Structure 1
């Protein structure tokens, strides 16, 4: 055991999350997702697992160490429900609460059509499969940055630092 780390974060998952750079994406998927086949096309090239838990709990563990990108409009995305793209099933509402709690603010999921989600997942850094049995427990998260405390706030907002006198 390690202090201050969620016990769901196994060595393989921690390695991948640490190895990712700013703008890289991680896919968290349910047990129905074609995770192994998709993961073979990712940067990491193999499937990672957080078994025995649902999507929301896995999202909480991952976001306990992964900063979301503040330079993009939608750093968190969800797979749309086929035939009802506006629907938010319980599994997605639960994950949304975890995202908002981790960020300390509302960070609404951006929707991605199912087949577009598969294509995007293939371009991700890695795929992490969960034990989630409900459909549509599939998400993409874009990694952000952690800056030193003395970085001007303008840099965080994407602007140029101001001259200091």
Structure 2
């Protein structure tokens, strides 16, 4: 499995699936969620309506519609409330649920955003450590996913993910 941390726009990724850092309604919002819904077109919203939402830490999959990706995997990340309300475990569950759905749908490549680190205020350094470890552990234990991208919106986020990756791979 190849893991790459890149800076860019997740809606432009030519992967089998991209992950949407959604809210529990799955009906669009701001940040990554809004950008994905705008780029995919109204068909995405129509399909999301059929799900009647999604619980935090779980994931649901839709077609990619007007996106270069074949699928969008939607996962509501946890809102940060200080870290004593299961937020780290829920974030870990987001990544595992997405990877599991990707594998079930024969996706060889997946692109993730930094889940919950925007308006949900999850501390970036902790989120990066959880994301990198969870992705590497999952892909080490499961076959099928060949390429995973962490798509960072800005250079600061990319630097934090680069550091988390370096730390995790040195620990192995």
Same fold by TM-score greater than 0.5: no
TM-score (norm 1): 0.35
Which has the bigger relative contact order, CA under 8 A and spacing at least 6?
A: 1
| Structure 1 or 2: more strand by fraction | 2
